A and B are shown apart, each in its own frame.
Chain A
Amino acid sequence: METGTKISAIAHVSLISWALFGGTFRSEPLPMAVQDVSVISAEQFAAMTAQREAPELPTDPAELQPPAEPDEIDTPDPTPEELPEPEPVTQPEPEPEPEVEPETVEISPEPELIEQPPTLEEPEPEVAALPVPPGPEAEPNPADKIAPEQVAPPPPEAKPDDIETPAVSLDEGAETQQEQQDQTALEETAPEIVTEAEEVDNPAPRTSPRPRVRPNRPAPTPEPEITETTEPAPTEPAQNEQAINDALAEALGNGTEPSGPPLTSGEKDGLRVAVSQCWNVGSLSTDALKTVVVVAFSLTRDGKVVDGSLRMVNSSGGSDASAKQAYQTARRAILRCVRDGYDLPADKYAQWKDIEITFNPERMRIK
């Protein structure tokens, strides 16, 4: 009997509690939780509760965001401190720059003659803009395969066509055929991977490499990180002030010394793309194409390579001779694409003053 009453009591209690709270919990638990989580002042809480009386306004959370603005106001505090610091550094450096300038001034005509410069400049600003991912992706891709040589597209056109017909035309005519084959050969020189034999079989693969660039684009993600760093400021007034302040002081203390905010992945991609568009491995030996080299160099504030700073830090996968060839090609890429200076944010100079680039030709290799 006792167990029976216990069971019935538990059942009743649970049923009553479900009737009482079940419905109410379902209706508002999520907004409640969100509101509690967000760090809000007492005034805002008051505003929230006041508005609860009007059940029709589910858009309350929208008002939570405005309070985030004060957060941003807090953030400028650390940055202005950092900015003035790098500036004094710049004053001493401009003096050595004039030495570099005379050379670069002479070089300046290059961009006009070279077709590539426009393509380089475009992707970078677009990356920074973030909102337009598809546009920039399409452009750099053709450049990856054959930078200025739009001549390459013709062969792909031939591929989609019936494979047999061009082949027959090559074989049948006697002398004229040879001329036609010459042309196809010249076109093949650009898209390396496609051999005459492969042309027949797979016309499609050209599109596959395109997606490669996309993963590099998600530039937006890093920015939220920066905002997160600023968020801690509001938490200070909240509760664990001491612990949080200590942590912040420790973290910021390290960061404020030499460096500014880190480069976003979009900014890094901009540099990566700029150099890779000049990294021409077409004239490398098959051995050098197996060699990974790490090249270090320094940049001036205007994004130009400091004279004599280029050096090979490391190499792997090949002989000294092939490492030398691979380094020369990497060096050529860095020096060719610098043009009027790499486009990097001046306020983050400390972050990109010294650079190490690993040139890995594995994906470009002839297997």
Chain B
Amino acid sequence: MMKLLTSLLVGLTLLSTSAYAQSGPLRLEIDEGIIEPMPFAVPNFVPDGPSAAQYAQDISRVVVSDLTGTGLFREISSDAFISRVSSFEAEVQFPDWKAINAQALVTGAVNVSGKRLTVRFRVWDVFSGQELGNGLQFAGTTDGWRRMAHKVADQVYTRITGEGAYFDSRVAFVSESGPKDQRRKRLAIMDYDGANVQYLTDSAAIVLAPRFSPTGDQLLYTSYETGQPRIYVLDVGRVKRQELKTQEGTMSFSPRFSPDGRSIVYSLTQGGNTDLWKMDLASGQSVRLTNTPAIETAPSYSPDGSRIVFESDRSGTPQLYIMPANGGEATRISFGQGRYGTPVWSPRGDLIAFTKQNKGRFHIGVMRTDGSEERLLTASFLDEGPTWSPNGRVIMFTRETQGASGRSTLYSVDISGRNLRPVRTPDGGSDPSWGPLQN
């Protein structure tokens, strides 16, 4: 008995001493952190002269607004700053920025000569005392100062998060004014943050669903000016439009460009039945993609152009389906409760955003392209019409409030479901289409 116990003790001893004599570094695993906006500081960019002072301040503010608008960053007020940045070349006093817990610091300088505007900037990781990326300079005209600020913010955002940029982009939408029963709708275009709104059509006819071309220089939209829905293509730069002719006696709507911009896919109603068609823009020839007695609509290409996701009620209720880009057998991907509609393929290709109606409420949601991992991001009386930011991280959509006095507003939300916020527009807005990153 004693022997057995002593041998056991010896075994234990050896075990513990082997751990005792561990070699190499102490190894730990951390799998739980925190999720909070990163505190950052943007001291006003340094103006090279008095004429640049206002631009320097305005650009700094837009950079801050872009970054805080993502919900991923929190600005540290300049009131808390310990050191002042009076020269772009001056050495950064990291301890001063550490002391106020600024984890990222953006310094910059603005130069104006005549109409020419130059912005230089650097991004610093304060706690490691290292620069993120290299200093960069943008040059342009003073009129385009907002775009240059967006470009600076894009760089900062990308360098810190690793996510693609999206601030220097535009959104087409339908501007809505007046009461619900007499609503005036105009096609409009704006910066992603609601600035620089331009109207592309008057309010004589109802317009719907603008859709950017892949390059951002053209818009597809649907207009009722003939009494029947018709598809038009509009040159954004020259504000000139052209009707896309479809068959006589039909209604065409819900158009969207293919990723290469050479063709469009749209819905066409003929004899009470709605199917999907594809039109080659060069030749004007259309080809039928679906042929069922059900209603097929809201088509959207995958980023590689090989597949199309669309909405169909062939199962009895509106659901989402995916089929090859040239037609063929469709696979249903939505199986949750409720009705699904307006699917839009993410520019990254990994997710599909959609509108869902369930139990009297509307949701904007995302799912994988096989229909798995469905997540609802919003919930309200009426949310619909999602569109993706160029980097596939943010979704903009329409939220309409209830009642006769209800109005439509554009909202954006991070695909994590965080940072739900309205996009400020002069009037109400609906049907947003987020364009590509500008050059």
Contacts and interface: CB of A to CB of B under 8 A. Distances in A.
Contact of A332 (B18, B35, B103): B103
Interface stretch (A14-22, A87-95, A178-186): A178-186
A276 interface: yes
A172 B34 contact: no
B181 interface: no
A185 B419 contact: yes
A283 B21 contact: no
A302 interface: no
Interface stretch (B189-197, B201-209, B305-313, B409-417): B409-417
A149 B13 CA distance: 47
Contacts of A251: 13-14, 17-18, 20-21
Given A144-B32, A332-B103, A366-B416, A174 B405 contact: yes
B100 A113 contact: yes
A83 interface: no
Contact of A356 (B28, B163, B407): B28
Given A177-B401, A181-B422, A336 B127 contact: yes
Contacts of A286: 163, 393, 415
Contacts of B128: 310, 328, 331-332, 335
A36 to B, nearest CB: 6
B415 to A, nearest CB: 7
A195 B414 CA distance: 10
Nearest to B7: A240
A235 B3 CA distance: 11
Given A172-B401, A357-B28, A324 B375 contact: no
Given A172-B401, A366-B415, A146 B36 contact: yes
Contact of B30 (A113, A258, A279, A353): A279
B24 A354 contact: yes
Contact of B101 (A114, A228, A232, A262): A114
Contact of B20 (A145, A262, A287): A262
Contact of A239 (B6, B365, B403): B6
11 contacts: A114-B101, A174-B403, A174-B406, A198-B417, A240-B6, A251-B17, A284-B161, A286-B163, A328-B125, A332-B127, A363-B31
Interface string A188-201: 11111111111110
B2 A239 contact: yes
A4 B233 CA distance: 112
A277 interface: yes
Looking at A107, A252, A280, A354, the one whose CB has the most chain B CB atoms below 10 A away is A280
Contact of A254 (B16, B21, B160, B382): B21
Contact of B403 (A172, A238, A280, A287): A172
Interface residues of B, number: 80
A170 interface: yes
A189 B421 CA distance: 10
Contact of A272 (B1, B30, B100): B30
A275 B25 CA distance: 17
Contacts of A8: none
Interface stretch (A59-67, A128-136, A241-249): A241-249
Contact of B17 (A199, A254, A283): A254
Contacts of B378: 195-197
A194 B402 CA distance: 25
A48 interface: no
Nearest to B27: A356
A104 to B, nearest CB: 9
A139 interface: no
Nearest to A328: B125
Contacts of B287: none
A332 B103 CA distance: 8
A277 B34 contact: yes
The 9 closest A-B pairs by CB, nearest first: A195-B417, A197-B376, A279-B33, A251-B17, A325-B162, A354-B25, A171-B381, A285-B162, A106-B95
Contacts of A235: 6, 9-10
A255 B34 contact: no
B90 interface: no
Interface in B281-308: none
A333 interface: yes
Nearest to B368: A367
Interface centre among B7, B28, B401 (most CB of A within 10 A): B28
A353 B17 CA distance: 20
A26 B190 CA distance: 91
Contacts of B407: 174
A288 B96 CA distance: 29
Nearest to B25: A354
A75 interface: no
